[in-house]
Structure 1
Amino acid sequence: MAKITFLGAGSTVFAKNVLGDCMLIPDIDFEFALFDIDPERLKDSENMLTNLKKTTGSSVQIRAYSDRKEALRGAKYVINAIQVGGYDPCTITDFEVPKKYGLRQTIADTLGIGGLFRSLRTIPVVLDFAKDMQEVCPDALFLNYTNPMATITGAMIRYGGIQTVGLCHSVQVCADHLLKSLNMDTSNLQWKIAGINHMAWLLEITQDGKDLYPEIKRRAREKQKEKHDDMVRFELMERFGYYVTESSEHNAEYHPYFIKSRYPELIEKFNIPLDEYIRRCINQIDRWNDMRDEVVHNHNLTHERTHEYGSHIIEAIETNHPFKIGGNVLNTGRLISNLPEKAVVEVPCLVDRSGISPTYVGDLPEQLAALNRTNINTQLLTIEAAVTGDRDKVYQAALLDPHTASELSIDDIVKLCDDLIEAHGHWLPQFHSKIGTRGRIG
């Protein structure tokens, strides 16, 4: 019986998706080991999965743990879906403190000043997971769903010594989403995607052997004449030649071109939803309060397998039936040859009983690699900052962030970092006993 440990199991809806998918894998027995620091949310997920077990007829064993190390002991797969600091206070802090400097954000969970500080809070926690795993399940596969994807996955591989793959939602839905938005047929597609998480590129898309890009670009230009939700991505495709996997609200803050206090008209022009993640969090909290009983206490709860990669990876390893994913892995051996080896890249991977085998991509078109490198610069320095506790690395990561650097001066970026370290308080203890060359002790 393969043991699957779910860290952050209080994310009840996501646990339903990923572990519910695993219940639908035929002819394999699993133990689900659930762990969360919130005992009430943990109990909710245990109840939900128990109900789902009955309706699916699954033979899975379900157990909630109050001891993380015991939850991990003997695990073959570890699923990570934590959020350190939550919406209140940490996400609010990541938005509100930068606003005092005139720096606005949309999502703030991957790059930008918000993504940087989310990494600084999260990396030490996942490296603690790695220490436990080295002791009680050193050969387990760590399936990371937590953002910032590239920094957490990179830290786990390089400093945690744990075999890790980062899993996102954007790769598998990219081509269908694009074509549906342009009223194009989605049957018989073949596509290739590679780059970095949230900034991977649809390098090829064909239908019955025909290149669809000329028609995609023609329709996209027409659609840009009216407001819609994908204007940033269509603009990037127009200027750089390729469609990017992650949403426009995300990509608006990964580049220096779209959110600019000097040009407020760009917000309207590209339909950019500032503070979008704050609204989503509030809506999600309200929606959960409305639906909680229906999910947690519903004895007739049902589930259909989702597009999440997690269960397909586990099934491929357990059955040796190969499956292809878009996975986030270290760029070892230069899978993408014009990106750094220390970077985490998102590339096609083959999964079977031997594990996860990334495929070689070669060079990206140079303009795409250049855009990726602007984000990788900050990612690599953020990992260094989190691992070393070096406050200067925090400043340097922020100074190289494309959006932050396009809006603020050097001195203001340093002051902003100091203010965020102070505001986050005990969430960033590694930086409060140290001072950078241009900063102050928090």
Structure 2
Amino acid sequence: MPGPTITLIGAGGLSFGPTMVNDVLHTPALAGSRLVLHDLNADRLDRAYRFAAKLNAANGSPVTLERTTGAAAALDGAAYCISSAEFGRFPYWRQDYEIPRRYGATQVNGENGGPGAVFHSLRSIANTLSICADIERYAPDAFLVNLSNPMSRVTLAINRATSLRNVGMCHEMPIGVVRIARLLRMSPRHIEARAS
């Protein structure tokens, strides 16, 4: 039986794109799905597609794999959209640290807090709401999983500005548990963490 169509928006990124492809391909319940890689940067998209095709083949081709730079084609039939898209992340991210520091403001180590995160939020929210407009136009019944940071602020904007069903997800919590366990010199399985 064919599975759902899953669209990865921002699939050409070096962090979340490969991770999400790997997760989909290693989730038995998603076998038979159509996985559409979408990115505006054709070169990055081609690199991501080559990686995904090799991984898909190595796993017995559990999904039908496609790629496109066009939003309409990417969202055609999508049941789920996973978005991790950002524009110019690293050059701007550097400014998010340097500009507050120049004016004497301490910037926390992370992209989700401090004064630099306000500017990161403004960039990410505008970008994500543009993506949401495409989803509302081409796949209004799709469920959106937002991975773009600052995750909580971007997800709040999605909820206030759109009618899309969505959730924001962050991978840092399990990573944080491992870091805390290391600092406390104990096994991560002895630490219980909850988030909402």
| TM-score strictly above 0.5 | yes
2:121 touches 2:150 (CA, 8 Å); kept in 1? yes
Give how far 1:8 is off: 0.9
Question: What residue in structure 2 maps to residue 80 of structure 1?
Answer: 83
- The counterpart of 1:53, out of the listed 52, 56, 59, is 56
Q: 1:120 to 1:20 in 2, by over 3 A?
A: same
Q: 1:77 to 1:184 in 2, by over 3 A?
A: same
- The counterpart of 1:70, out of the listed 48, 73, 78, is 73
Please say which of residues 97-106 and 143-152 is displaced more in the overlay: 97-106
1:7 touches 1:79 (CA, 8 Å); kept in 2? yes
Paired letter, 2:170: C
Output the TM-score relative to the length of structure 2.
0.88
Q: 1:121 to 1:176 in 2, by over 3 A?
A: closer
- Structure 1 residue 118 corresponds to structure 2 residue 120: yes
Give how far 1:16 is off: 2.0
2:7 touches 2:78 (CA, 8 Å); kept in 1? yes
2:177 touches 2:193 (CA, 8 Å); kept in 1? no
- The counterpart of 2:172, out of the listed 164, 170, 173, is 170
Structure number, greater radius of gyration: 1
Question: What residue in structure 1 maps to residue 104 of structure 2?
Answer: 102
1:10 touches 1:38 (CA, 8 Å); kept in 2? yes
Question: What residue in structure 1 maps to residue 194 of structure 2?
Answer: 193
Q: What CA RMSD, in Å, does the superposition of the two structures yield over aligned residues?
A: 2.0
Q: 1:185 to 1:128 in 2, by over 3 A?
A: closer
Report SS of the residue matched to 1:168.
Answer: coil
Deviations 1:242-295 (A, max 9, x none): xxxxxxxxxxxxxxxxxxxxxxxxxxxxxxxxxxxxxxxxxxxxxxxxxxxxxx
Question: What residue in structure 1 maps to residue 8 of structure 2?
Answer: 6
Paired letter, 2:127: V
Residue pairs, 1:298-317, within 5 angstroms: none
Structure 2 unpaired stretches of 5+: none
Deviations 1:314-342 (A, max 9, x none): xxxxxxxxxxxxxxxxxxxxxxxxxxxxx
Report SS of the residue matched to 2:179.
Answer: helix
CA distance in 2, matches of 1:33, 1:125: 20
1:95 touches 1:108 (CA, 8 Å); kept in 2? no
Give how far 1:31 is off: 1.3
Question: What residue in structure 2 maps to residue 381 of structure 1?
Answer: none
CA distance in 2, matches of 1:161, 1:93: 33
- The counterpart of 2:47, out of the listed 44, 64, 83, is 44
Question: What residue in structure 2 maps to residue 16 of structure 1?
Answer: 18
Question: What residue in structure 2 maps to residue 179 of structure 1?
Answer: 181
2:11 touches 2:18 (CA, 8 Å); kept in 1? no
Output the TM-score relative to the length of structure 1.
0.41
State the percentage of identical aligned residues.
Answer: 28
1:2 touches 1:76 (CA, 8 Å); kept in 2? yes
- The counterpart of 1:148, out of the listed 150, 156, 163, is 150
Number of aligned positions between the proteins:
193
Report SS of the residue matched to 1:21.
Answer: helix
Give how far 1:98 is off: 2.4
1:176 touches 1:186 (CA, 8 Å); kept in 2? yes
CA distance in 1, matches of 2:9, 2:188: 36
